[in-house]
Structure 1
Amino acid sequence: MGSPEHPRVDLVRGDITEQGVDAVVNAANSSLLGGGGVDGAIHRRGGKEILAECRALRAGHYGGGLPVGQAVATTAGRLPARWVIHTVGPVYSSTEDRSALLASCYGESLRVAHELGAESVAFPAISTGVYRWPVDDAARVAAHAIRTARPRVPEIRMVLFDDAALAAFRAAFEAS
């Protein structure tokens, strides 16, 4: 296990809904009401408890939806985690640098995890699915954001969906 000063970062190929960690990060859409990809998988496997808490968030402080780069926690429902931290990644643009927003997803998720008292957190490759962020660049942004984040969480797990993503994230974390 790592420490808050020197978190351990593990990179694995797998299914984020199967991770036995304190907090799983959901690459959510701003509605917080489920969607495709990681978001849909987390809502399906986690069950109605997650959706109920997301609806309560929408009825309260997040009536307009969760802004890009922000993060908020709910129960993990039936997932083998305690919490789900929802964060909204930016849609990739070749004409506008949105990397600070992507980095914020990681930093804000770690801040929320720390506030919850989480000792371990699992991240997907945020924005690399339907939001079309190139995996190599997303990995670079993620590695830098995680390495420089304050506060920190002792154990961080990047859960990648295929061998190409795993290789890209390994290269980025080795270079950071």
Structure 2
Amino acid sequence: MFLELTRHGTEVPHRQVLLGKSPGAVEPKTFHHAIDIYLKDSNAYANTYFSRYFEWQGVCRERWFYQCIAPDLLRSQGVFITKRAHQEYVHETFPFQTVDCQLNTFQVSRCSFYLIFRFQVDDALVSTGYQQIVFARDDKRIQRLPEEVLARIREYEIPEERLQA
């Protein structure tokens, strides 16, 4: 189960969030990053450790920032802070499978945005998650994202009407 995010960043528990498609809507970009599961990622029963999904969120997030947003991660202008993170387990994964991590954005504002993660193995959903990211100065005071960065982040934004209960 994935928590629904409202316009104001609050969570509505116990609702499944799906990506619906509106006819004629412009499709946002979706970032894909492949992750291979190894024995070190699993327990004695060969189930992937739950904590790996949070690690994979971070890996996918960093690759997306580097490849699609700003290779320097905007270090000279501020810092990205993860304010909130959530991961929902859907189905088991095992060593030697390849996980397709898909990333989109949601509720992009001048100073913050959500990253939406979907993890799939062979087109089967295995986990979903999100992070709320805030941009701040080095002293941790929230600041606006540069306009050109906001434009790149919005290319991956899922419109609110596409998140359905």
The bucket for the TM-score relative to the shorter chain is under 0.3
Q: TM-score, normalised by structure 2?
A: 0.27
The structure whose residues are more often helix, as a share, is 1
Larger gyration radius, structure 1 or structure 2: 2
Q: TM-score, normalised by structure 1?
A: 0.26
